[in-house]
Amino acid sequence: MDGHRVVRDVPRGDPAAIERLREYGVATVYEALGRLGLLQPVLRPICEGMAIAGSAVTVSCPPGDNLMIHLSLLCCRPGDVLVVAVTSESTDGMVGELLATSMRAHGVAGLVIDAGVRDVAELRSMRFPVWARAISARGTTKASPGSVNIPVVCAGAAVHPGDVIVADDDGVLCVPQSRVDDAVSRAEERAGREDKTREQLAAGVLGADIYGLRGRAVELGIDFVDRGP
Amino acid sequence: MDGHRVVRDVPRGDPAAIERLREYGVATVYEALGRLGLLQPVLRPICEGMAIAGSAVTVSCPPGDNLMIHLSLLCCRPGDVLVVAVTSESTDGMVGELLATSMRAHGVAGLVIDAGVRDVAELRSMRFPVWARAISARGTTKASPGSVNIPVVCAGAAVHPGDVIVADDDGVLCVPQSRVDDAVSRAEERAGREDKTREQLAAGVLGADIYGLRGRAVELGIDFVDRGP
Amino acid sequence: MDGHRVVRDVPRGDPAAIERLREYGVATVYEALGRLGLLQPVLRPICEGMAIAGSAVTVSCPPGDNLMIHLSLLCCRPGDVLVVAVTSESTDGMVGELLATSMRAHGVAGLVIDAGVRDVAELRSMRFPVWARAISARGTTKASPGSVNIPVVCAGAAVHPGDVIVADDDGVLCVPQSRVDDAVSRAEERAGREDKTREQLAAGVLGADIYGLRGRAVELGIDFVDRGP
Amino acid sequence: MDGHRVVRDVPRGDPAAIERLREYGVATVYEALGRLGLLQPVLRPICEGMAIAGSAVTVSCPPGDNLMIHLSLLCCRPGDVLVVAVTSESTDGMVGELLATSMRAHGVAGLVIDAGVRDVAELRSMRFPVWARAISARGTTKASPGSVNIPVVCAGAAVHPGDVIVADDDGVLCVPQSRVDDAVSRAEERAGREDKTREQLAAGVLGADIYGLRGRAVELGIDFVDRGP
Amino acid sequence: MDGHRVVRDVPRGDPAAIERLREYGVATVYEALGRLGLLQPVLRPICEGMAIAGSAVTVSCPPGDNLMIHLSLLCCRPGDVLVVAVTSESTDGMVGELLATSMRAHGVAGLVIDAGVRDVAELRSMRFPVWARAISARGTTKASPGSVNIPVVCAGAAVHPGDVIVADDDGVLCVPQSRVDDAVSRAEERAGREDKTREQLAAGVLGADIYGLRGRAVELGIDFVDRGP
Amino acid sequence: MDGHRVVRDVPRGDPAAIERLREYGVATVYEALGRLGLLQPVLRPICEGMAIAGSAVTVSCPPGDNLMIHLSLLCCRPGDVLVVAVTSESTDGMVGELLATSMRAHGVAGLVIDAGVRDVAELRSMRFPVWARAISARGTTKASPGSVNIPVVCAGAAVHPGDVIVADDDGVLCVPQSRVDDAVSRAEERAGREDKTREQLAAGVLGADIYGLRGRAVELGIDFVDRGP
């Protein structure tokens, strides 16, 4: 029972909740969730200013082969985010303009890939959202088996099919499906608090005072002196 | 006979063929060539959207010394690409605005360097094309010997003087001189095929069907199931 | 006497001299100074085209905790540059939009941090100048002690409170306070020389001739030959 | 419900099966399992010749804090393997001789940690088996919450409490609990085949002949020629 | 006044205190000192089981040139530790068997170098203690100026001439000269405490109980449950 | 003509000359040759104290596939050294105990591989000499074409079939076949000089005096002062 497989159905989250997570953004949702699910910062967007959220269709590939990415498109619906993991570290360019054209045609919201991509000039002019580990012209074969919609580890984080992926300039976050509603309400609350804090900070009030950090400093035994030695 | 030397003459390729390689771009030519000659993706362009091709004038420098880059300009003709290798790994900024001004004055098409560059704000406003391993203000001496126009290894790829360098947002490729014509015709053929495929993919046809990957998946024993466990 | 402490007063340099260093830029001042004080190139600006200079307020934090950055704002005056070191390597996002809003409200000229930052889309739209090791949404606690305005090592360079930090697209430089005047006059002299050299190079004169490198090549035993083997 | 927690009970595997996996070793079991569950090779043993297997007690720590490792000992039984993940990358020395003494006293078979360890001279003379990312004298606090016996990602692999960890000079492998029996029988079969192959190879028969690779080479279009150009 | 210089005299510490620091070892002294002065763990000993301590003679070299290491031997006394920093990152083998023979002849206790060494088979058979960033056969020139006995940054830590260097299997520590006596007494105290704790731990008492961590866990809101979901 | 191919015949060097290079060792031969041909120090021996030299049989593999290593054994004679390059960076364990058994049966002197190896406990107990980039249990397929005995780039150095590989604790060196005799005589001369220098250094004479470095220091403007500021 360890064979490779393609699972066609993925449970998707509520589109309205997903859109709200996109708006709050990775940094806010990550904190709101209690600091779970952040992919390692080695994944970077190929251009600035992109922000997406969607249900994860997961792909597990051997390095240097994108057969399973092609097959994963059989399982995608509009708004999904493809999350590609490789079974050993690789920077090969597993996705280029042609595959991105196909993804766009099928409504895929974006790509998160723990490997390389290529044709980045074209990907940028298409404004197709991609977070990747590397940019490399080295293409791949379409010859080796893997799986679609199984649990994967991508850039150090566990991703299950149907988890909600949020990605923007700060990185990529995986919100477990069971936590989406909770994430929305906590992020909303957090964002509200931050709005107030931002106003105070912009007016010159110090975080040291807002958060009571002077007292904490004293408790921690930090000395305040006027001049260095 | 292991002395350092400067070889003045480099065989250059046909400008029309070189221009065609530039237009097809690194990713297409690399595949067309049978996946040879790609420099490691650690070399990145200092700004987006540059695309060059030209005959390689090669330079071998000790780390932290750019004497040989200065001497290499004795050997450059308009359209050439300077390819700088160092004898041990370094991020020092071996080329800055002054050297780039000189390169431009002599018609050098661009610079590929397995080390650092500096004055990048100026290099960007000059739109001088550079692919480098790092950006570092640390300049260099002009005191230590090396060679010009000998075979070098740059970012993991062997480059011979006169090979054609193609560089764009996807990276840097070295096409052996004897393979240039072949590369042009294969790239043309490949680009033609890709145009057709792009149309199909944009219309929603799946790569899985275009390339016959469903059958391959079955041969590989991949299971298709509706739902995960 | 190894306790943590916050030193309130930092000696500041002459604003006119600091502004001149900013204008000359990191690469020129670094060379003018005799190649001292460059931070490792792993620190990169979060957007292109920023250039700042100011007196360093130094912060030493444990990884993953930004309590001391909050407290450091008690010590900042308009024009200062915050320099944040961590006691072991970390990419966590220690500063985000809220802290940057506070820094801006207090006139902080910019941030140099040997760790990560987050909310980079907002930091970019604020045009708040930041040089950092990483971008990561992973935030921090405000719970662990450190120090403000003690000597630190940031990205491999020693920085003392009150040293002048110069930062631009080429990286980050620390000019010891006692060397500021000297740095200005040497940078001026160097920039003047470079203006002349630039003109010559733009007119096609070779660096090999300007710097007498043909003779040096001969002394070093470099052979000049017409053709390779 | 995203709070930190300590789960006391872990399902353990059959000791005889675990011992067999230890004897077959990481490389053989990994292949036998269909190439699942290998931790990244950045984890290295602190001394050569160690080989362990045991049920995983998992620990999730914030970087630089080993409170949860101490608490995890409340949950260990003789023969268990502690698997420590950190929530962001760190090389701090989270375990030293004292903790190892305690682990040994409680029968812990060994430690797999995606961070640093210290007191390695003492750990080596105790022959306490450790696989770690780094060696660093930098100790930790005991102040920040985490969890014990939740699913973690350690060095790029998902590990669930009770999975069987196999570790030796080749690295660290996680065998899902449901796959242990299968792993044993497949590893046995594989080891038997390898014994025969080894004999043939030692006698000079080529793998090319044993595995039919000459034919495969011909199919793949590989040319056999006597001499290079 | 930014010239290179060789400072002949270094203040040395008390040999008995230095020997005590060696015996306590890096990990214990580092904690005792309040976690100051640890060099990054990228420096590793070339063989296991070495442990030294001595007054630092500091050397600042350009990468790839060991002239200043030769000159530093003019300043060494028996028992000193050479600490070599380079002005930009390098792995070149700056010290080999010949230089080590000379160091030994002059009583140098060991070498800490933020670069490479070579002839390691010979260095190991001499049992000459070396902590280095790399092993590389690439030798160096003796042509470029630097300084001896100025403050340097070595592997991320500031080292002043005369500071006491402690190095063993756990890494390298720099104890500021003014802190040596304090370090000895604190390390002694700490080691005493650790002896008691070790006994308890070996007898099976848990650190959770010795350090009162169960209570802390409750305060931090950590749940204790019998079984996972 | 860019097809994959296996070239059966490799020109071998004179065994006596090769043995002399082995005895002089990597560091000495590298210097004697004028600093050419050193592979990057990322390749490390899997155990200490190995020293080999032999004619290179080169292998170019796609990452994660060792078909061509099997085929390369068709081309090996006793005393040869296998040099394995991969077409993109990989740490997969491409060679294990079985292949090493086969290599030993055919008299292969050792293996240099720019990827991973596995079964290292067995390789060490066989004392089979291996220099590799990584240790990883992740095995490979035998399915993808490559070439044998073509020019390759291995760990940053160009290696031609028949070049002489020298490898020991200091790393791996490639001596071009045309330079072998020259390398032997220069290494002999260098080793003789080093013997004399070693005697002097052991007797306490300083390198500063043997090499005339005091004078050089003065020329370079280095100040000698008794005390620091």
CB contact burial E72-111 (16+ within 10 A = b; e otherwise) = bbbbbeebbbbbbbbbbbbbbbbbbbbbbbbbbbbebbbb
Residue F1 clears pLDDT 50, i.e. is over it: no
**Within 10 Å of residue F3's Cβ, how many Cβ atoms?**
11
Mean pLDDT of the region C179-190:
96
Cβ proximity of C135 and A48 under 8 Å = no
Measured CA to CA in angstroms, residue B126 lies from A214, B103, B119, E145 at distances of 50, 12, 11, 35
Q: For residues F41-46, give the mean pLDDT.
A: 97
Helices A15-24 and A180-202 pack at an angle, to 10 degrees, of 30
Question: Could you tell me whether strands D223-225 and F5-7 are parallel, antiparallel, or unpaired per DSSP bridges?
Answer: parallel
pLDDT at A3 over 90: no
Q: What is the ipTM of this complex?
A: 0.95
How many angstroms separate the CA of residue F229 from the nearest CA in chain B?
Answer: 27
Return the partners of chain B (3 or more C-beta pairs < 8 Å).
A, C, E, F
Decide if A92 and F88 are in contact by the 8 Å CB cutoff.
yes
| Mean pLDDT of the residues in chain D | 96
Phi then psi for residue F181, to 5 deg, are: -65, -45
Query: Contact F98/D223, CB-based, under 8 Å?
Result: no
Name the CA radius of gyration of chain F, rounded: 21
Residues of A with CB under 8 A from a CB of B: 3-9, 67, 70-71, 73-74, 91, 93, 96-99, 101-102, 104-106, 116, 118-121, 124, 134-139, 142-145, 147, 149-150, 161
| d(C-alpha C116, C-alpha C135), whole Å | 5
For position B2, what pLDDT does the model report? 57
- How many CB atoms are located within 10 Å of the residue A39 CB? 25
Reported as a pLDDT band with limits 50, 70 and 90, residue D38 is: very high
pLDDT at D207 > cutoff 70: yes
User: Are B187 and B46 spatial neighbours (Cβ–Cβ below 8 Å)?
Assistant: no
Asked if the model's pLDDT at residue A158 lies above 50, the reply is yes
In three state form, how does the secondary structure of chain C look? CCCCEEECCCCCCCHHHHHHHHHHHHHHHHHHCCCCCECCCCCEECCCCCCEEEEEEEEEECCCECHHHHHHHHHCCCCCEEEEEECCCCCCEEECHHHHHHHHHCCCCEEEEEEEECCHHHHHHHCCCEEEEEECCCCCECCCCCEECCCEEECCEEECCCCEEEEECCEEEEECHHHHHHHHHHHHHHHHHHHHHHHHHHCCCCHHHHCCHHHHHHHCCCEEECCCC
Name the closest residue on chain D to residue F3, using Cα atoms: D222
Helix (H, G, I), strand (E, B) or coil at B196: helix
Tens digit of each residue's pLDDT (9 = 90 or more) over D87-128? 999 999 999 999 999 999 999 999 999 999 999 999 999 999
Q: How confident is the model at residue D1 (pLDDT cuts 50, 70, 90)?
A: very low
Residues of D in contact with E26 (CB under 8 A): 137
Residue D199: how many CB atoms within 10 A of its CB? 11
List pLDDT tens digits, range E77-136. 999 999 999 999 999 999 999 999 999 999 999 999 999 999 999 999 999 999 999 999
Output the pLDDT for position C1.
38
Contacts of A174 (CB under 8 A, 6+ apart): A37, A38, A39, A56, A83, A154, A157, A158, A159, A163, A164, A165
Give me the pLDDT at residue C228, please: 83
Predicted confidence (pLDDT) at residue D227 exceeds the cutoff of 80: yes
Are 3 or more Cβ–Cβ pairs between F and C shorter than 8 Å? no
pLDDT of D229 above 90: no
Partner residue facing D90 (CB), from C63, C141, C144: C63
Q: Do B29 and B172 meet the contact criterion of CB atoms below 8 Å apart? A: no
Q: What is the pLDDT of residues E168-217, one digit of tens each?
A: 999 999 999 999 999 999 999 999 999 999 999 999 999 999 999 999 99
Whole-Å CA distances, D67 to B122, D1, D70, F50: 51, 21, 5, 43
Q: What is the pLDDT of residue E229?
A: 72
Looking at the complex, report in whole angstroms how far the Cα of residue D66 sits from the nearest Cα belonging to chain E.
11
- The residue with greater pLDDT, F200 or B229, is F200
From chain A, the residues in CB contact with B198 under 8 A are 97-98, 101
Q: Do F158 and B157 touch (CB under 8 A)?
A: no
User: What would the mean pLDDT of A99-115 be, rounded to a whole number?
Assistant: 98
Contact C101 A31 (CB under 8 A): no
A215, pLDDT greater than 70: yes
For A201-212, how does the pLDDT look when each residue is reduced to its tens digit (9 = 90+)? 999 999 999 999
- Among residues F199, F194, F155, which one has the least CA distance to residue F174? F155
Entry pTM: 0.96
Which single residue is written with the structure tokens 């067309």? B32
Q: Which residue has the higher pLDDT, E228 or C149?
A: C149
Residue D17 has pLDDT above 70, yes or no: yes
Give the pLDDT mean for E46-73.
97
Contact F35 B87 (CB under 8 A): yes
pLDDT in tens, D156-183: 999 999 999 999 999 999 999 999 999 9
Interface test with D, best of C4, C67, C87, C90 (most D CBs within 10 A): C90
**Residue E1: is its pLDDT beyond 50?**
no
> Neighbours of A (≥3 Cβ pairs closer than 8 A)?
B, C, D, F
pLDDT single digits (tens) B154-187: 999 999 999 999 999 999 999 999 999 999 999 9
Residue B1 has pLDDT above 80, yes or no: no
- pLDDT value, residue A1: 38
Q: Please state, in angstroms and rounded to a whole number, the distance separating the CA atoms of residues D16 and D14.
A: 6
Interface of B with C (CB under 8 A): 3-9, 67, 70-71, 73-74, 91, 93, 96-99, 101-102, 104-106, 116, 118-121, 124, 134-139, 142-145, 147, 149-150, 161
C112, pLDDT greater than 80: yes
pLDDT at D111: 98
Residues C183/C184/C186/C191 CA torsion (nearest 10 deg): 130
Q: What is the DSSP string of chain D?
A: ----EEE-------HHHHHHHHHH-HHHHHHHTTS--BPPTT-EESSTT--EEEEEEEEEE-TTB-HHHHHHGGG--TT-EEEEEESS----EEE-HHHHHHHHHTT--EEEEEEEE--HHHHHHHT--EEEEEE-----BS----EESS-EEETTEEE-TTPEEEEETTEEEEE-GGGHHHHHHHHHHHHHHHHHHHHHHHTT--HHHHTTHHHHHHHTT-EEESS--
